A and B are shown apart, each in its own frame.
Chain A
Amino acid sequence: MIGEYARRTTAVFTVVVLAALSVLIFIDVIGRYIFSSPLPGSIELVEGFMAVVMLGSLTQATYSREHIRLEFIMIKASHGWRTVLEKLSQFAVLLVTAGIGWGLFERTLSLRDSGDLTPVLHLPIYLMAGFAFLIAVAAIMVAARLLFSPDSSDLPSGEPNHD
């Protein structure tokens, strides 16, 4: 299924970029302190990597249902109501990921028109925004899949964060 494929690809990609981000910052600091030459454009590289980490992570957190919420009504609710509330939550998350996706898409078009570049490396910002949009699409797909799967039990429920 294309949704699952997108999620897995995003998961692997996010993890790789997160590792690269740590290394990038490490090299930047070493460069500045020891060789007195920081990595040129390190800030914009970090920002670009962060877009992947944040949106890719959003995909993962949605998948493993880790979002913070008030649960006391949920706990008291009957099984039927709990399903309703769960679907409502999933619908809300789908709306938000869709909003993020739409917003990034809209920004991508507008930044392409204005031709803004990053300050040091002169990378076209619209390409970066467009890439972020693609990851947001993966988040939308995951949220939609959660909402429309009749029984969520085929998906892992909130894996404990620290196993």
Chain B
Amino acid sequence: AEFNLRIANWNPNPHHAVSVALNEWADKINKESNGRIKVTVDKAIIGKPAGQYDLIKQGVVQAGWGALPWTPGRFELSQVVELPFLVPSAEEGSRKITEIWQKHFADKEFTDTKLLAIHVHSPGVLHTKEKVTSPADLNGMKIRTIGSGVKWAEALGATAVVMPASKAHEALARGVADGILFPWDAIKSYRLEKLLPYHLEVPNGFYTIAFFFAMNQKFYDSLPADLQALIDANSGPETAAFLGRAWDAAAAKTRSDIAADPDHEINTVTSEVLSDLQQRSKTITAEWKAKAEAQGIDADAVLAEFSE
């Protein structure tokens, strides 16, 4: 092959939705470039999760993916999508945030790589050991979360416990945490289904996490125009939606397994609780708005685009 495109993969679980989707993306590029680009997806982690973005920026690999909250302060505009109640599905949320980045943030964030897509995980659900239907039940509960989830968990009346997802099982089994904010599929992939029998859903999700899928800028620039066009055609909002769709499918599978399991109970919030939650989320949203406006962003316009 003329060009080797290595994709770093910080979650090498071969069954993970994004791993599967990235392999599909790789096959597509291999085929459409007639083998001129050889794409491979890693099966083991290089460096630390938090270092994935720099890994791409430095050109250790040609592309890769990682979570935005791992590098607090770096991508806080794009993290707008993580605010409560903005993501009806991973597919919709991913498409929307990539469009918003293109329109509003492209000159401010991800300027030092070729960003292929920002995608999100399927709408966040609250999974707990004890039944929870309202913030009153959450009082004093220890909820594992990361990033902007910390303030949110606190606004919900819980105590936030911050730790990596890989330690979630240990934390829940040892009573260090009583519940977790997680997308559905993560309950199975982190083996939490025996620990957490109660699940609370809200329309458009409690939260989500944003991920980048980015390419080394020099590598992109080194490609001839036709191959650059190929990469362009396989990036942007539709590629984001494709990654989100994979995540939605994985989440739906786990959700239906759990819904069929008599040991589990899935609840949805009542409309009164929902308006209480919306009220509580206002401080979180206001905080993001202040940060965005300080950078000269029309924050209200951005937020309005989510409901278009």
Contact = CB atoms under 8 A, between A and B. Distances in A.
Q: Do A and B come from one complex?
A: yes
B73 A115 contact: yes
Contact of A119 (B54, B140, B162): B162
A43 B71 contact: no
In this complex, the interface size class of chain A, counting residues with CB under 8 Å from chain B, is: 10 to 19
Contact of B69 (A43, A110, A115, A119): A119
A116 interface: yes
B176 A122 contact: no
Contacts of B180: none
Interface in A18-41: 32, 36-38
B56 to A, nearest CB: 13
Nearest to A124: B73
A115 B74 CA distance: 6
A110 B176 CA distance: 35
A1 B235 CA distance: 59
Given A36-B159, A37-B159, A114 B150 contact: no
In this complex, the interface size class of chain B, counting residues with CB under 8 Å from chain A, is: 10 to 19
Contact of B72 (A32, A37, A43, A122): A122
A120 B162 contact: yes
B71 A114 contact: yes
Interface string B36-63: 0000000000000010001000000000
A38 B178 CA distance: 14
Interface string B98-128: 0000000000000000000000000000000
B95 interface: no
A37 B159 CA distance: 7
Nearest to A42: B162
A84 interface: no
A122 B291 CA distance: 14
A58 B102 CA distance: 47
Interface string B144-173: 001100100000000101110000000000
A38 B175 CA distance: 13
Interface in B45-98: 50, 54, 69, 71-74
B163 A43 contact: yes
Given A110-B54, A116-B71, A117-B72, A32 B142 contact: yes
A110 B72 CA distance: 15
Contacts of B146: 119
Given A119-B146, A120-B162, 13 more contacts: A32-B142, A36-B140, A36-B159, A43-B162, A43-B163, A115-B73, A116-B72, A116-B73, A117-B73, A118-B72, A119-B162, A120-B150, A122-B73
18 contacts: A32-B142, A32-B176, A38-B159, A43-B163, A110-B54, A114-B74, A115-B74, A116-B50, A116-B72, A116-B73, A117-B72, A117-B73, A118-B72, A119-B146, A119-B147, A119-B150, A120-B162, A122-B72
List 10 A-B pairs, minimum CB-CB distance, nearest first: A117-B73, A117-B72, A116-B71, A119-B72, A115-B73, A114-B74, A116-B74, A36-B140, A116-B73, A43-B162
